[in-house]
Structure formats: structure tokens, C-alpha cells
Structure 1
């Protein structure tokens, strides 16, 4: 198999995975992207009394553009799952906090995703699952390097 054929197969495989993820049953009220935002909020909660996280922190943690993050927060806010909290000390600081309903849904969906992940690991086997994680992380690192190289070459 040539390098070109392997490259095409690699992107085909990634595309198949991307098409599969939305078909996972169980995620009822939130998308996988929304769950990523939820997870970022949970991981960064201690920031403001353990109740809210700065938008800037979410932006850096998720590596999302500010407009994309705002759209995601707007969707979650429209569903009543999060709310924006404005700082009294600095009006420009915006925080995001879970609503009670948002906390319930996050924990329920997190449990569903964990159950699905566990089934995947059981069927693949721990060794292959760990190897997939290693390779996926390596792929991500290589892609980041290539993106940085492209940005640098565009500056010249």
C-alpha cells in the first residue's frame, strides 16, 4: 500500500468514526460537543466559588474560538442547562454556571457515555483500546504540529 493510499484510508477511517459518534443512543438533550463544554465547566469549576467558570478559561481549555464557544453556551442557555453570570467587580468578566437541570443532565449523560465507553473497551479489549488512545493522541499531536507549520509558512 502506497503512502497516498494509507493517507486516504486514514482519513476515511476518521470520517467513519465521526459519522458514528452522533448515532450513539443515549445522548438525548445534548450533543457530544455540548458534553465537551459541560466537561470543561466541571473540570474548571473551582474558579469562582466552585459554581462558575470564566468564558476565557473555557475558551483556552477547549481551544475553541470565542464565537464558537459563545454559540455553544447560547444553545445550552436556551435549553436552560447553563447560565451566564457577570462579575460585580469587573463587568467585562463573564462566567458560566450550571443550572440545577444542567447538573442533572450532565451527570445522567456522563453516566451513559461512561457505560458506552466501558462496552467499547470490553469488546475491543483493554490492550487495543489503550493502543487506540495512544495512536489517537499521537495523530492529534502530529496534526497540531502540521497546523503550526502551516501558520508559520503563511507568515513568511
Structure 2
């Protein structure tokens, strides 16, 4: 008997390739690089949830799963544009925290609103039930890739 449980592997691969070609996550917003927007949003959402909790470069790095030198570059760019400020810890001068300026908060809020609107449109397009199914499937796909990533040779 022919095993056809893998008959859709090529279609699945093609669907994932379509997303990588779309570059929907790479859209520039408000004159900033997508990576800079992600840093602003990460700081903003973290502050919203934790009553103005300050973040260090290494904490932002862990949250975004990017190296600290990469985050430092982005923070320096955001600093020069007036979106963030760097503050020193009063007990340990080696530790510096990254805090959004009012300008940074406003831009992060606009970016979050724009992204949420895009996903609201997707929910409208798919409908409630298919949206819930998609969320479940994407979470399961992410868990699968996290699981195989930890294995030697990716499998």
C-alpha cells in the first residue's frame, strides 16, 4: 500500500517559501528599519506590562533572540534619532538601561496599532474559526521547529 501521508510535503514547503518571498515582516515603517521598530515595540510592550520596567541591551537581546552587539547597533541608531535614552544604574554604573522617550513611545504605539490593524484584517478575511485554527497550527509548527532546532543536524 502506498503511503500518502507525505503527499502534501511539497505544497507545505511551497507555502512556507511564499511567506519568505513576501517580506511582509520587512516593511519599513515611519522611516525606521523593521529591526528598529521591533526593538521599540519590545521595549514599549514590556513597559506596558511591567509598569515601566527598564530593559538592558542583553535583556532586549534575549527577548528578540538576537546578539547583544546587533541590539547595541539598533539602540545606538534609535538613540541618535531621539527614540530612546540610555540611563546608568545608580548602584552599578556598568549597567545601562534603555528607556523610550515620549517620541519613542508615540512611534511604538503607532507601529503596534498599524500591525494590529493588519492582523485584524486577516481575522476578518479568514473568519473567527479559521483564525483560531491558524493560531493553534502556527503555535504547533513553532513548537515543532523549536524541538528539531535543538537536535544535532536540525533533525
TM class, shorter-chain normalised?
A: 0.7 to 0.9
Paired position in structure 2 for 1:96:
98
> What's the secondary structure of 2:92's corresponding residue?
coil
Residue 76 of structure 1, aligned match among 58, 62, 78: 78
Paired position in structure 2 for 1:21:
24
Shift of 1:34: 2.9
Q: List structure 1 runs of 4+ shifted beyond 6 angstroms.
A: 46-49
Seen in structure 2, the aligned counterparts of structure 1 residues 149 and 116 have a Cα distance that, compared at 3 Å, is same
Seen in structure 2, the aligned counterparts of structure 1 residues 66 and 111 have a Cα distance that, compared at 3 Å, is same
Shift of 1:27: 2.7
Question: TM-score if structure 1 supplies the norm length?
Answer: 0.77
Residue 108 of structure 2, aligned match among 106, 109, 114: 106
Paired position in structure 1 for 2:148:
146
Question: TM-score if structure 2 supplies the norm length?
Answer: 0.77
How does 1:26-65 map onto structure 2 within 5 Å? 27-45=29-47, 50=52, 52-65=54-67
Seen in structure 2, the aligned counterparts of structure 1 residues 2 and 99 have a Cα distance that, compared at 3 Å, is same
String of CA shifts for 1:34-53, please: whole Å, max 9, x gaps: 33322321233289972632
How does 1:119-138 map onto structure 2 within 5 Å? 119-138=121-140
What number of residue pairs does the alignment pair up?
Answer: 151
RMSD after superposition = 3.1
Instruction: Name whichever structure is richer in helix by fraction.
Output: 1
Partner Cα separation in structure 1 for residue 62 and residue 110 of structure 2 = 26
Query: Gaps (5+ residues) in structure 1?
Result: none
